[in-house]
Amino acid sequence: MLNKSPAVQIGELTVVRGRTTALNDITLDVPAGHIVGLIGPSGCGKTTLMRAIVGVQRITSGRITVLGEAAGHRSLRSQIGYVTQAPSVYDDLSVRDNLRYFRRVLGAPASDVDRVIAQTGLGPQADSLAESLSGGQRSRASLAVALMGSPRLLVLDEPTVGLDPVLHNDLWDIFHRLRDAGMSIIVSSHVMDEASRCDGLVLLRDGRMLASGSPAALRERTGAASIEEAFIDLINEQSTGDTR
């Protein structure tokens, strides 16, 4: 894994929308075959950063390379699975029919329908209308769509928000299995206890990157017992100019 090129390389990325600087001078590498969490409060720039990586966000300056190509390059369309906060399935279609539709749109093999149903544990709901699914099942269905075509990079924008603990754990089990199979995953959250489930973290606040590293390294850097405490310590460090 150490010999692999990073899945994503970001250099001096800035995004300005109107009078608001949504991202300010972000430089970051996302290792291949890792789960990297973008952690921070709502409005800190997580979604903007994900959109920039996927190639649907206009950037002001800087550079982004994804799987060896410039972000947004045509060749990346089949290499990236993107799950937004809004469900990406049609309510009046069954799960299976949704997947058949997106398979044709993406040009994925017909066998992918059964494969992603199995990967996401949607077998019992495969022939149910999407409108009848629970929140957790809809999240799985959106994830199943993103897995069509066997992407190398999965980008997940707060995929577990609002889920009960059981469904929350089930989704993270899926993420870890995908990671173990070699997929690179970027997942955003404003819930600090999800940080321990990631291999690496990027802590964001007000469009700036406070720090990055493994959960253990960030706790060690600050001497904090938890990522939440480390995050607060890093905010205070930034405010006081303490570089430790």
Which one, of 2, 213, 194, 193, lies nearest residue 203 by Cα?
A: 213
Which one, of 140, 231, 152, lies nearest residue 194 by Cα?
A: 231
Last residue of a domain, one of 128, 150, 172: 150
Structural domains of the chain, count = 2
- Of all residues in the chain, the percent with pLDDT exceeding 90 is 70
Find out whether 157 and 84 touch, Cβ atoms under 8 Å. yes
Q: Residue 67's domain is classified under what CATH number? A: 3.40.50.300
Helix (H) / strand (E) containing 205: strand 200-205
Residues 162 and 45 in one domain: yes
| Model confidence at 183: pLDDT above 90 | yes
Q: What's residue 1's pLDDT?
A: 37
Could you give the CA distance from residue 237 to residue 230 in angstroms, rounded to a whole number?
10
Find out whether 11 and 23 touch, Cβ atoms under 8 Å. no
Find out whether 146 and 169 touch, Cβ atoms under 8 Å. no
What does DSSP say about strands 61-66 and 35-39: parallel, antiparallel, or unpaired? unpaired
Mean pLDDT, range 131-145, rounded to an integer: 91
Domain span at 141:
89-150
Confidence of residue 239 (pLDDT cuts 50, 70, 90): low
Last residue of a domain, one of 150, 165, 184: 150
pLDDT in tens, 85-117: 888 899 999 999 999 999 999 889 999 999 999
Q: What's residue 230's pLDDT?
A: 85
